[in-house]
């Protein structure tokens, strides 16, 4: 049972599954004299079943599991803290074309999301973002020479796919510009930042798809790496065959 002082920190408003990442709940281990309330930090994942909220996951550790219906990440994936922040890497390696994880998160439009920190927020449609999920997909970093791409499979589902064979120990990355439009950067100015990826073809700055060199844009289009809303924005069509 939750104690009477359970408090939820700034739940994200909107439709679908909602998440609250860290809240302090005064946990009541039992009833009766001498059993006081002990404050504990717990992590919860909530879903809103109108008109109330329901807890669908409660944990003493940061959330890393996915809600029902979301593809679990490849078991070889893990997080690593580096001088560049927390990154996602693979312990096992992967083959080209492998599906590594599913991106997900509460949906929001630009206006709603723009009031929040831009970290771990991803543009997934016209005037549409995923807010942070609290899971591994939040930690895929950008590279100008990425080893992964996003795959938009319809019904709003987005997956991370290996663009080439990936060796054990490699960090996973995709090019953020493949799913970011100029309109997105207007809403989230923090999405434009100096790039430190170290690739030979590093552009020096991460921006929108409109900022990509034309050859790079065509390269990504041929790989199927551009998000559908980016293709529409750029008035590009996918090649009929590879």
Binding residues for Zn ion, per CB under 5 A? 144, 195, 197, 202
Q: How far is the CB of 198 from Zn ion (least distance, A)?
A: 7
- Give the helix/strand (H/E) hosting 143: none
Residue 104 CA to residue 122 CA, distance in Å, equals 9
The nearer residue to Zn ion, 195 or 234, going by C-beta atoms, is: 195
The DSSP symbol for 86 reads E
The nearer residue to Zn ion, 19 or 139, going by C-beta atoms, is: 139
The nearer residue to Zn ion, 58 or 195, going by C-beta atoms, is: 195
The four Cα atoms 195, 197, 198, 202 give a dihedral, to 10 degrees, of -60
Burial level of 223, CB count in 10 A (0-12/13-18/19+)? middle
3-state secondary structure of 152: strand
The nearer residue to Zn ion, 141 or 181, going by C-beta atoms, is: 141
Residue 135 CA to residue 132 CA, distance in Å, equals 8
The nearer residue to Zn ion, 199 or 238, going by C-beta atoms, is: 199
User: Token pair of 137, please?
Assistant: 């997909």
Q: How far is the CB of 142 from Zn ion (least distance, A)?
A: 7
Q: How far is the CB of 86 from Zn ion (least distance, A)?
A: 18
The nearer residue to Zn ion, 133 or 147, going by C-beta atoms, is: 147
Q: How far is the CB of 37 from Zn ion (least distance, A)?
A: 50
Q: How far is the CB of 227 from Zn ion (least distance, A)?
A: 19
SS3 of the chain: helix, strand, coil, percent, to 5: 15, 35, 50
3-state secondary structure of 137: helix
Is the C-alpha dihedral spanning 126, 127, 132, 138 positive or negative?
positive
Q: How far is the CB of 194 from Zn ion (least distance, A)?
A: 9
């Amino acid at each position: 049972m939750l104690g009477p002082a359970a408090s939820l920190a700034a739940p994200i408003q909107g439709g679908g599954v909602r998440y609250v990442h860290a809240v302090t709940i005064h946990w009541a281990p039992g009833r009766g004299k001498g059993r006081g309330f002990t404050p504990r930090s717990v992590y919860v994942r909530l879903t809103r079943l109108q008109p109330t909220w329901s807890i669908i996951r409660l944990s003493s550790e940061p959330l890393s599991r996915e809600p029902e219906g979301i593809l679990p990440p490849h078991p070889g994936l893990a997080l690593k803290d580096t001088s560049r922040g927390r990154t996602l890497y693979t312990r096992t390696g992967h083959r080209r074309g492998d599906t590594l994880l599913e991106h997900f998160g509460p949906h929001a439009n630009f206006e709603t999301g723009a009031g929040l920190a831009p970290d771990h927020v991803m543009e997934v449609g016209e005037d549409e973002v995923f807010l942070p999920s609290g899971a591994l997909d939040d930690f895929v970093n950008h590279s100008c020479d990425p080893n992964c791409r996003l795959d938009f499979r319809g019904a709003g589902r987005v997956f991370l796919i290996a663009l080439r064979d990936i060796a054990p120990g490699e960090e996973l990355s995709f090019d953020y510009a493949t799913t970011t439009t100029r309109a997105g950067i207007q809403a989230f100015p923090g999405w434009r930042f100096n790039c430190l990826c170290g690739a030979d073809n590093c552009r020096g700055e991460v921006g929108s798809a409109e900022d990509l060199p034309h050859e790079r844009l065509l390269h990504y289009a041929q790989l199927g790496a551009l998000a559908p809303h980016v293709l529409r924005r750029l008035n590009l069509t996918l090649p009929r065959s590879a």
